[in-house]
Structure 1
Amino acid sequence: MPGPVSAAWLLVALCAATGAYCLLRMRSGVEEQRRAAGGEALMGFGMAVMAVPAAVFTPPRWAWPLYAAVFGAAALRALWAARAAPHHLHHLVGAAAMVYMSVAMAAAPPGAHHAHGGSGMPLLTGALLLYFAGYVLLTGARLVPAAGPGRAPSAPAPGPGAAVGAGGRPLGWGDRPELARACRLSMGIGMVAMLLTM
């Protein structure tokens, strides 16, 4: 990834931490939560590897087609899952963006794998940037507690185990929807940062 090395390492850390949290979410008792968390973990770790500065690690040329194949399979899985649950369309767009960036890296001249430039597809880059920027803004707005006229701001939850799910059972910290949204927000920010370098 081009740009300041410190910014690239911050992006690596953000994506790797998000991927690690998603792995922990895979321990959820809710099957749909586990399935979504698995795809998000793959995305987080994939983005972390792709964001490593070129001065530290430049993948071999054969790695990019392999990367595209892995995320192509993830895109097909998300497309299949979207038939029953439309929120998987976001996973489809994310996986497709990873395929696109992998193809751009594979097409780049040797030694310029992290330069992204010259891919010849600026319209697609712009469309993906608009999508992820909008997603980041929308998800960020959903994380802010709403306090309308005549309503007091909601008090913060007393602790990670205090949230209550269906049936009155307390939710584990891996099942809390606001943490899952924060995870997706982090990956959306990372995707915007990566697409800006294309």
Structure 2
Amino acid sequence: MHGPALSGWLLVAVCAATGLSCLLRMRASTGEERRAAGGEAVMGFGMAAMALPAAVLTPPGWSWTVYAAVFGGATLHGLLALRRGGHHLHHLVGSLAMLYMAVTMAAPGAPGAHTEHAAAGPAGGIPVLTGALLLYYVAYVLRAGTRLVPVAAGGAGPGPAWAARPELARACRLAMALATLAMLVAL
């Protein structure tokens, strides 16, 4: 993505840390929660790679096509999970948003292609779709932020391991939603 290098690095750090915590959560979980954590880890690391500042690393022109393929695969996976009756609508919207941004940035002459940052205007894209995604993520961030209250551990015994705590999953989803929101604004 294009933009100031400091905000780019902060976005990379948040997304990479989120991806790492999702991997740890995946290791501590089973079943559907494990699959969800794995998908979120892919999203976190993919977003971190997309957010690398262009001043530090100018990716080859084909990299946006690779991002589009990865997030296209994640979108197909989300569609299949939704069809199986899973509750992955947010994962599907996230994958579609990242696919949309990768395709938009891959367009010839787009600022995301790292051709000309100074003279470049908007990357293009479809303003109505970008606006709809922005509205979705603003609503999601506000809703997720209000739900980010630690869950009280039941019983007298110790609570679940830190990697399996439900509020960690919510915090990861909130961090990725905020990162997606920042990337959409920069688009």
**What band does the TM-score fall into relative to the shorter chain?**
0.7 to 0.9
Q: Is the Cα contact below 8 Å between 1:33 and 1:175 reproduced in 2?
A: no
Quote the residue 1:195 is aligned against: 184
Q: Is the Cα contact below 8 Å between 2:111 and 2:123 reproduced in 1?
A: no
Quote the residue 1:127 is aligned against: 132
Q: Is the Cα contact below 8 Å between 2:110 and 2:123 reproduced in 1?
A: no
Q: Provide the C-alpha distance between the structure 1 equivalents of 2:3 and 2:62, rounded to a whole number of angstroms.
A: 24
Worse-matched range after superposition: 71-80 or 111-120: 111-120
Q: Provide the C-alpha distance between the structure 2 equivalents of 1:69 and 1:192, rounded to a whole number of angstroms.
A: 21
Q: Is the Cα contact below 8 Å between 2:149 and 2:167 reproduced in 1?
A: no
Q: Is the Cα contact below 8 Å between 2:64 and 2:102 reproduced in 1?
A: yes
What is the TM-score with the length of structure 2 in the denominator? 0.87
What amino acid is aligned across from residue 188 of structure 1 in structure 2?
A
Q: Provide the C-alpha distance between the structure 2 equivalents of 1:187 and 1:112, rounded to a whole number of angstroms.
A: 20
What amino acid is aligned across from residue 178 of structure 1 in structure 2?
E
How many angstroms does 1:170 deviate by? 4.3
Q: Which among 108, 125, 148 is matched to residue 143 of structure 1? A: 148
Q: Is the Cα contact below 8 Å between 2:22 and 2:37 reproduced in 1?
A: yes
How many angstroms does 1:85 deviate by? 4.3
Greater Rg, structure 1 or structure 2? 1
Quote the residue 1:95 is aligned against: 95
The alignment covers a number of residue pairs equal to 181
Quote the residue 2:49 is aligned against: 49
What amino acid is aligned across from residue 132 of structure 2 in structure 1?
A
What is the TM-score with the length of structure 1 in the denominator? 0.83
Q: Provide the C-alpha distance between the structure 2 equivalents of 1:26 and 1:143, rounded to a whole number of angstroms.
A: 20
Identity rate, percent: 61
Quote the residue 2:165 is aligned against: 176
Flag as ranges the 4+ runs of structure 1 deviating above 6 A.
none
Structural RMSD (CA) = 2.3
How many angstroms does 1:30 deviate by? 2.0
Question: If each structure's helix is expressed as a fraction of its own residues, which one has the higher value?
Answer: 2
**1:66-117: CA deviations, max 9, x gaps?**
2111111111111111134453010001011111111011104177525682
How many angstroms does 1:2 deviate by? 2.6
**Gapped regions of structure 1 (runs ≥ 5):** 146-155, 158-162
**Gapped regions of structure 2 (runs ≥ 5):** none
